[in-house]
Amino acid sequence: MSLVIQEIPARDAPIELLLLADPSEDKIRSYLSGSTCFIASSNGTVVGACVVQPRGSGAHELMSIAVQPAHQKSGYGTALLKWIVEFFRKSGASQLEVGTGTFGYQLAFYQRHGFRVTSIDHDFFVNNYPEPIFEDGIQLFDMLRLALKYPSKVA
């Protein structure tokens, strides 16, 4: 698999792609400013994207990650997430955070890469979106907060 991952200006973020991960365009646009956008391309075609926002004290939050439906389950999401984890490790970040639903393959996707559950944001999806959100026919109510903590470097 040949995948090129690069940082792009937030104003050029592929909104249609990011909508796969977050159904609210308003929310995406609100967190894009102040965030860093990365795209993953294969043979010149953008197949994946993610948005990361600084959270203070060396923490960064993965706000969104998505792969084009036609290219899902091909390893691109894993490659992009691994790249992001390494990028922020090398930048000296203290931890990478993410919020996701309480069930579904996305939860395994993050935990496989070392993310651990830190808290539950009860009713996040009903309080923050105008329409109910369903995944596999089940309504999403609560958001699980996860974090991958980077070991601190000993001087």
Ligand X SMILES: CC(C)(COP(=O)(O)OP(=O)(O)OC[C@H]1O[C@@H](n2cnc3c(N)ncnc32)[C@H](O)[C@@H]1OP(=O)(O)O)[C@@H](O)C(=O)NCCC(=O)NCCS
Taking the complex as a whole, the smallest distance from the CB of residue 90 to ligand X amounts, in Å, to 21
Taking the complex as a whole, the smallest distance from the CB of residue 154 to ligand X amounts, in Å, to 33
Rg of the chain over all Cα atoms, to the nearest angstrom: 15
What tokens appear for 11 in the block? Answer: 């104003």
106 near ligand X, rule: CB under 6 A: yes
13 near ligand X, rule: CB under 6 A: no
Compare residues 54 and 83 and give the one whose CB is closer to ligand X: 83
Binding mask 61-90 for ligand X (x = CB under 6 A): ----xxx----xxxxxxx------------
- Give the number of C-alpha atoms closer than 13 A to the C-alpha of residue 14, restricted to the C-beta side: 20
Q: How far apart are the C-alpha atoms of 112 and 30, rounded to whole Å? A: 29
The residue whose Cβ lies closest to ligand X is 77
Alpha helices in the chain (DSSP H): 15-18, 25-32, 76-90, 105-111, 124-128
For residue 90, give the 3-state DSSP assignment: helix
According to DSSP, the β-strands at 143-149 and 116-121 are antiparallel
Compare residues 72 and 94 and give the one whose CB is closer to ligand X: 72
Taking the complex as a whole, the smallest distance from the CB of residue 145 to ligand X amounts, in Å, to 12
Compare residues 2 and 152 and give the one whose CB is closer to ligand X: 2
Taking the complex as a whole, the smallest distance from the CB of residue 73 to ligand X amounts, in Å, to 5
What tokens appear for 116 in the block? Answer: 């651990």
Compare residues 92 and 114 and give the one whose CB is closer to ligand X: 114
46 near ligand X, rule: CB under 6 A: no
User: Pick from 37, 82, 90, 45: which is nearest to 63 by CA?
Assistant: 37
> Which residues in this chain contact ligand X in the complex, by CB under 6 A?
20-21, 65-67, 72-78, 100, 105-106, 109
